[in-house]
Amino acid sequence: MPTRFRLVVAGILLVVGSLCLSAQSAAPTRQFVETGISREFAPAVALGAQRPVTVVMKIAGDPVSVARGRMPGKRLGIADTDRIERELRSAQAALVPAIQARGATVLSTFQHAINGIKVRTTADRLRGLAALPGVVAVKPVAVYRANNKTSVPFIGTPQVWENPPGLHGEHVKIAIIDSGIDYTHANFGGPGTVAAFNAAKATSTAPADPSMFGPGAPKVKGGIDLVGDHYDPSLTDAAHAPQPDANPLDCDGHGSHVAGTAAGFGVTSVGATFAGPYDATTPNVGFRIGPGVAPLAELYAVRVLSCTGGTDVVVDAIDWAVAHGMDVINMSLGAVYGTARSNHAACAMAA
């Protein structure tokens, strides 16, 4: 990333750090130490062998991001990226029959941020999964919920805009892993009207209006909805299963909130999109909504939260973000039974 953008990205990462993952963990009721199986499974195991769990089986072999990190300038050609992805997919596919034979359901596979297979199973089957050839670890997938608690002026963002001048997040791509983004909102260059939102909501599973979402839009340049409006990981019926589509419109509001914190333009006291300037005097302007940390950065909405409920597709979202060249991943999420180690690892992956 060019040097002139690093200070703004550092400011964004302060937001990510403060928003990132809140651990609301209970102490494990007993020790659970076994080769290849994470300690974080202790609560699930203690609550019963048949307790449903979602896990990521980490497979031997470097994902695309690790291979890219070893290259000069951290660059990897398209041909090499495709080759690595194909090789990892092939090795993962060879494991699927053995996973299914052990009573687990394969949900998805990852090749970019991590070389892994995400499965749904029960706690008593973890040992069998961990013992499969090529499996180096079995990690829990937490169910995350919205948790936002920071403010842009608190971290000194106006000083970043002012000194040195011109640091506003230009050309930085930020993935907002959350409940989607209301791209009709004035904070993101949309009309900012109830009518505009209602029109978008009525067609929220169809492609979005390109004037508000996509490469030609003023702020929200792309993204994906991984879940749909009714998804709930605590329920197993088809009505609450993920229903992905290409239109990550926010029906909850939380994703729009944190997207605004990261890179919103700001909304003036009369409800119009703020057009700048962004400098040390900006906080003195009368706002309905203040500008984000990097108001000239590009936003990508990766929706993992439905209109209600939590999510267990955060790893899927991180993999999408890495595969699509994001510079920054923003997550404002928390999980029951989260641990310091697992939460810091997720934040590090996001950063």
Residues 229 and 99 reside in one and the same domain: no
Same domain, 16 and 121: no
CA distance 215 to 218: 8
Which pLDDT belongs to residue 29? 32
pLDDT given at position 100: 96
The dihedral of CA 336, 342, 344, 345: what is its sign?
negative
Domain boundary among 111, 142, 173: 142
Same domain, 76 and 159: no
Is the separation of the CB atoms in 8 and 172 below 8 Å? yes
How far is the first Cα of the chain from the last one, in angstroms, to the nearest whole number?
13
Report strand pairing: 328-331 vs 135-140: unpaired
Does residue 211 sit in the same domain as residue 274? yes
pLDDT of the residue at 116: 95
State the residue range of the domain holding 116: 26-142
Report the number of distinct structural domains present in the chain.
2
The mean pLDDT values, 10 residues at a time, for the chain of 351 residues are 40 40 34 54 58 92 93 90 96 96 95 95 91 93 64 79 84 95 97 95 95 97 95 87 94 91 92 92 86 95 91 94 95 70 48 45
- What are the tokens at 112? 């970019």
pLDDT at 40: 58
Helix (H) or strand (E) holding 105: strand 105-110
Q: What pLDDT does residue 323 have?
A: 96
CATH no. for residue 124? 3.30.70.80
Burial of 122 (0-12, 13-18, 19+ CB in 10 A): middle
